[in-house]
Structure 1
Amino acid sequence: MTHDLVLTGGDVLGHGTTDVAVRAGRIAAIGPGLTGAVVHDVTGRLVTPGLIDLHTHVGPGYWGIDPDPVAWCTGVTTWVDAGSAGAYTMDGLRRTVAQVGVRVPALLNISAVGLAGRTGESRDLANCDVGLAVDTVLAHRDLIRGIKVRIDHETVGANGVEPLRRGLAAAEACGIPVMVHIGTTPPTLDEVLDLLRPGDIVTHCASGIASPLGPAVRDAYERGVLLDIGHGSGGFAFDVAQAQLEAGLRAYTISTDLHARSVHGPVFDLPTTIAKLVAVGLPLTDALAAVTVHPARALGLPGGTLDPGAPADIAVFRVEEGRFEVVDAHRQVRQAPLRLANEATYVGGRRLPARLPAPSPPWIPLTDAQRAALARREHAVRALLATPLVGVDGLAEQFPRPTTRST
């Protein structure tokens, strides 16, 4: 049988060295000797399901970024928007989702204003309307997979864990999980964790600010609360991540919290975040499960595997071995023994085209070094694109001149 697309000879995650065939946007077969209308040799490359980033911000507002310029060169095919939109702004997120080339399921912010601004969305409890949140979930069942609640002092003010209680009530009514952001206190971390149910998610689980290492974390972990990395601009510390790993508190999912402030560092992208977890001792196979099958299970998402019938979301990586410097949110440095360099990304069997990122929004704080690096990158891209693609030897005469007859 001839398929639409076949990737041949790759190291296919969970299947060894073999071929992957795609037909009608889904994985059609895995095995040797497959034939296709289009065949790409990926010998020596790691072939994985398209990566699923459980915590990103792509919706309109202060934090959102366009996912496509990052997705095509990182292998991330599913971007879970974690609370950028609330009930008042969900229609705006839906319009954004319709315009991008990747999959964007969403977590509804319990605050109806969402993340239009930097913070403070749950200081007015009138915004945290349980009935309105439930109605919004029911109206957008195809898009919304959970509820997002940010619980830190700057976000909730004097309201403590009440926004979380309301988020849990809405989630319970709709049969979906809650993702809770942890950070500065009050309220205390123990107050937050004690409310969570099996299947709920704690993001920024290796935060150097919240330092979730006490008995309450152990209790939550053992009753089935899921830990998510959610790196972000301030949510990941190497020492906390390593201490949790040594204590047997393993993050179920690895996510970036990629947004307009973190995309230029310290996060950069999901493959870099994977390398950071490998740097503190997590085996690569476990890290890959935490960005494929685990986030799919956590939110009931399609994908996460390359089994026949699954969506043909595929990432092809070159695994580079060596010593690679990686940095956390607090400028602590570790050496990763490998890095994943993406060579191709497919969504529904369609290879994502190259896309250039837009300039950083004017309200995003950047260091002088970041600004200089962005300027150098723009100059390099401009110079590359301004140079003719090939010389005369790379051209064909597309419209030959007629042969002149001699008289």
Structure 2
Amino acid sequence: MFDLILRRARLCDEQLVDIAIQHGKIAAVGEVSGPAQQERDLAGRYYVSAGWIDSHVHCYPKSPIYHDEADTIGMAQGVTTVVDAGSTGADDIDDFYQLTRSATTEVRALINISRTGIVTQNELADMAQIDGDAVVQAVKRRPDFIVGLKARMSSSVVGENGIQPLVRAKAIQQAAGNLPLMVHIGNNPPVLEEIADLLTSGDIITHCFNGKPNRILSPQGELKAAVKNAIARGVKLDIGHGGASFSFEVARQAIAQGILPDTISSDIYCRNRINGPVHSLAHVMSKFFSVGMTLPQIIECVTVNAATGLRLAGKGRLTAGYDADLTIFTVKEEARPFVDAEGEQVLGQQHILPQAVVIAGHWHLTDEGKANHVFDL
């Protein structure tokens, strides 16, 4: 007997399927027969995808700058897995791990190469804070929690150190088993070309569509050669919207040239969740309808691409044997304003509304689902 069957779930390609879940795993997708302890008939009215993965959040609740609660930005907003992007370094990663054990949302972390993590805005201004041995030991202690490394390479973070923190990060990455390295780009120095030249296959550029002068596009709107070469080497592009790092103009120009993000992430924390312009991962995802992306492309960026990029085994696909993490959502056709980090407002015509999630085989309503009473039996 199955634990749960979702009947007539609509996939992003508009196909209707049944999805059976047993023992926290997806047991079958397609036409499913047989009894279940619980059945929910979605009647073709609700989309279902693999559980959304937000690959750039800040949810260490003790962080003095960027903090939030995992379930507030995760389960409540249709996200089944969140990956904290460098809020903690070696000093606090174990505390962060323990705090997240009570969350329903699955939480993973990118460890900051600075021991202190982001307790100040300039954590890489003092090279003495970069302790490679401490990072390696933390990865050994928490191999299932720490899925990568994080280095913030903008002028306000590195101070007078220029490119040197990234040189150290690459050495630490090798010592730590070649985990993915996420690199934040922003104002220079260092210039983006210096950063991109050091990145190798599997590394991730986050804030890839920021509107700052140190952006991925030249003043003529062309992809900078160093970034083009990095992408050819297998470097990935992540959105990391945040409060200052997403431009509709850059996104439009890039996507029109076929330069699509590999992952769409929010860079969410309490302030940009409450006050905007982020609000939620679904809100960020919805903005990409307005810059030329389709629903299947958007969903790939928060499922299979995110899982592949951060090597999250068993996640990101609606396939038998994978973790029973699902997001149930609707797409509402309605004019709605969206604002980027530069203040540009776009009138979007579609927005994605998560109604429920299944996490490790268990059904939970999102805030949207509770408000709309959509699954009251």
Q: Please report the TM-score for the alignment, with normalisation by the length of structure 1.
A: 0.84
CA distance in 2, matches of 1:138, 1:14: 41
CA distance in 2, matches of 1:89, 1:274: 31
Aligned to 1:5: 4
Instruction: Report the Cα offset of residue 197 of structure 1.
Output: 0.3
Aligned to 2:353: 341
Aligned to 2:221: none
For 1:349-391, what per-residue CA distance to the aligned partner results, in whole angstroms no more than 9, with x for missing partners?
11235679xxxxxxxxxxxxxxxxxxxxxxxx9xxxxxxxxxx
Alignment of 1:294-373 (within 5 A): 294-301=305-312, 302-352=314-364
The number of residues matched between the two structures is 355
CA distance in 1, matches of 2:255, 2:113: 31
Question: Pick from 282, 286, 297: which aligns with 1:271?
Answer: 282
Cα distance change of structure 1 residues 343 and 170 upon mapping to structure 2, 3 Å threshold = same
Asked whether the 8 Å contact 1:69–1:355 carries over to 2, the reply is no
Asked whether the 8 Å contact 1:73–1:343 carries over to 2, the reply is no
CA distance in 1, matches of 2:130, 2:66: 20
Cα distance change of structure 1 residues 63 and 258 upon mapping to structure 2, 3 Å threshold = same
Residues 1:67 and 2:77 aligned together: no
Asked whether the 8 Å contact 2:75–2:104 carries over to 1, the reply is no
CA distance in 1, matches of 2:74, 2:180: 26
Instruction: Name the aligned partner's letter for residue 56 of structure 1.
Output: V
For 1:206-234, what per-residue CA distance to the aligned partner results, in whole angstroms no more than 9, with x for missing partners?
00113211222212112211000000010
Question: Pick from 183, 188, 201: which aligns with 1:185?
Answer: 188
Aligned to 1:148: 150
Residues 1:18 and 2:49 aligned together: no
Instruction: Report the Cα offset of residue 67 of structure 1.
Output: 2.0
Asked whether the 8 Å contact 2:264–2:301 carries over to 1, the reply is yes
CA distance in 1, matches of 2:237, 2:159: 25
Aligned to 2:139: 137
Instruction: Name the aligned partner's letter for residue 74 of structure 1.
Output: Q
CA distance in 2, matches of 1:39, 1:70: 27
Asked whether the 8 Å contact 1:149–1:178 carries over to 2, the reply is yes
The DSSP-based 3-state class of the residue aligned with 2:107 is coil
Aligned to 1:37: 37
Q: Please report the TM-score for the alignment, with normalisation by the length of structure 2.
A: 0.91
CA distance in 2, matches of 1:7, 1:354: 17
Instruction: Name the aligned partner's letter for residue 328 of structure 1.
Output: D
CA distance in 2, matches of 1:307, 1:106: 25
CA distance in 1, matches of 2:73, 2:6: 23
Asked whether the 8 Å contact 2:354–2:366 carries over to 1, the reply is no
Instruction: Name the aligned partner's letter for residue 336 of structure 1.
Output: G
CA distance in 2, matches of 1:229, 1:135: 30
Instruction: Report the Cα offset of residue 92 of structure 1.
Output: 1.6
CA distance in 2, matches of 1:309, 1:240: 39
CA distance in 1, matches of 2:242, 2:162: 23
Residues 1:225 and 2:235 aligned together: yes
Which runs of 5 or more structure 2 residues have no equivalent in the other structure? 218-223, 372-377
Aligned to 2:82: 79
Aligned to 2:374: none
Question: Pick from 196, 199, 209: which aligns with 1:196?
Answer: 199
CA distance in 2, matches of 1:113, 1:161: 19
The DSSP-based 3-state class of the residue aligned with 2:68 is coil
Segments ≥4 residues shifted beyond 3 Å: 353-356
Aligned to 1:159: 161
CA distance in 1, matches of 2:174, 2:309: 15
Aligned to 1:94: 97
Instruction: Name the aligned partner's letter for residue 361 of structure 2.
Output: G
Asked whether the 8 Å contact 1:11–1:18 carries over to 2, the reply is yes
For 1:277-332, what per-residue CA distance to the aligned partner results, in whole angstroms no more than 9, with x for missing partners?
11100111111100000010001103111101111101111121232221101111
Structure showing greater Rg: 1
Instruction: Report the Cα offset of residue 79 of structure 1.
Output: 0.2
Instruction: Name the aligned partner's letter for residue 7 of structure 2.
Output: T
CA distance in 1, matches of 2:71, 2:363: 12
Alignment of 1:277-292 (within 5 A): 277-292=288-303
CA distance in 1, matches of 2:183, 2:96: 20
Instruction: Report the Cα offset of residue 13 of structure 1.
Output: 4.1
Superposed CA RMSD in Å reads: 1.7
CA distance in 2, matches of 1:332, 1:17: 37
